[in-house]
Amino acid sequence: MALQHAEIVSLSKSVPETAINGDEPPPPYVLKQSVFGSIDICPPNGPFPVIDISLFSPSSSASQAHVHKELEKLRSALISGCIQVIGHGISSSFLDKVRELGKQFFELPMEEKQKYARPTNQIEGYGSNMIISENQVLDWSDRPSLWVFPQDTRNLHFWPQNPIGFREMLNEYAEKVKFVEQTLYKAITKSLNLEENSFLNMIGERAPVRARFNFYPLCSRPDLVLGVKPHTDRGGITILLQDKEVEGLQVRVDGKWFKIMSNGIFKSPLHRVVTNTEKLRMSVAVVSEAVVDKEIGAMEGLVNEERPRLYKNVKNFGAVAYESYQNEQIAMDAIKA
Ligand SMILES: O=C(O)CCC(=O)C(=O)O
Ligand SMILES: [Fe+2]
């Protein structure tokens, strides 16, 4: 699998260092002919269907009928794979703080950020793409990528101590997002008339969760490079905190990519990030994966004569997804039944 490959190319400058000079993007970043189409700066998708998750809380005073309607909406929204969540209880001032401390980290001198550098061949730490082949096209972004759950797997030496308050912020944000994610997992299973813990049980109690602070420096040639190449996320649910001002995420809503556990009912949308010449963009993605050695597959009750099993059961889907991403392939194609 990809993660065992050696890192075979090294670049003289990081993305932010290249961006500061406004240089033309070096060749490894320039997108070649892509099977997913050229970089057209299309209008942003959206707005995505809005789901009020406060209705799913056990303490909600909403009527059964109201909750049922919201579950139906969730189910139909997830056919395209993206929703906007409201009623999550995270204050906008706290979300601003997450964005602000993230940007402050990015603005630190490179040698300070390098204290948290991702070691070669590991996915955790501050850095950019892991390089696994000479032909790989690189993303115009860099990021700290940090394990946040289970708590005892946190590697705090990768967690920035500068700016002050970053670690505390991430700890609090991770807790809050975990609650949102669990509420969503339960609501999604309920919307399929399954027992509400069935997805959570399948991914395992110690399901790993990673937080990624994505930074996209300005780029002199947004027509030639991508912030992130087309991919489907490797986990179950990704909770994405978007930049307040700068757009860049493009989602292929009519794509045909599926989630394994819902036997194709819910989609895992293909998406990519474009760059711009004007402003840095930042997003925070929190991705939950299944426990590595736990097998995931279509839930009982979602496979029948009319809807035969679409995907093989799979362990460590993250590694399949990573390899596919680097090779511009769709991970789901690799596990068709
Ligand atoms: O920056 C974004 O909006 C999306 C980032 C993304 O796709 C990811 O981190 O998986
Ligand atoms: Fe993504």
Q: What percent of the chain has pLDDT over 90?
A: 47
Residue 11, pLDDT > 70, answer no
pLDDT at 245 over 50: yes
Spatial separation of the C-alpha atoms in residues 261 and 288, rounded to whole Å: 14
Name the pLDDT band for 187 (thresholds 50, 70, 90): very high
Residue by residue, DSSP assigns 247-263 as --EEEETT---B-TTTT
At 181, which helix (H) or strand (E)?
A: helix 166-191
- Which residue among 143, 247, 249 has the greatest number of ligand 1 atoms within 8 angstroms of its CB, and so is best to mutate? 249
pLDDT tens, position by position, 73-130: 999 888 778 889 999 999 999 999 999 999 999 999 999 999 999 998 888 999 988 7
Determine the straight-line distance between the first and last CA of the chain, rounded to whole angstroms. Answer: 20
Any idea where the domains of the chain sit in the sequence?
A: 26-33+44-149+159-334
Pocket probe for ligand 1: among 103, 229, 240, the residue whose CB has the most ligand atoms within 8 Å is 240
Q: Can you give the pLDDT at residue 45? A: 57
112 or 7: which leads in pLDDT: 112
Q: From the CB of 212, is ligand 1 less than 6 Å away?
A: yes
Question: Among all ligands shown, which has an atom nearest to the Cα of 143?
Answer: 1
More confident: 84 or 21: 84
Does position 196 have pLDDT exceeding 80, yes or no? yes
54: pLDDT strictly greater than 70: yes
* Paired tokens of 93: 């001032």
Q: Which fold has domain 26-33+44-149+159-334?
A: Jelly Rolls (2.60.120)
Q: Which ipTM did the prediction report?
A: 0.97
DSSP H or E stretch at residue 65: helix 64-77
Q: What is the pLDDT of residue 323?
A: 77
pLDDT of residue 171: 98
pLDDT at 39 over 80: no
Ligand 1: which residue has its CA nearest to atom 10? Answer: 233
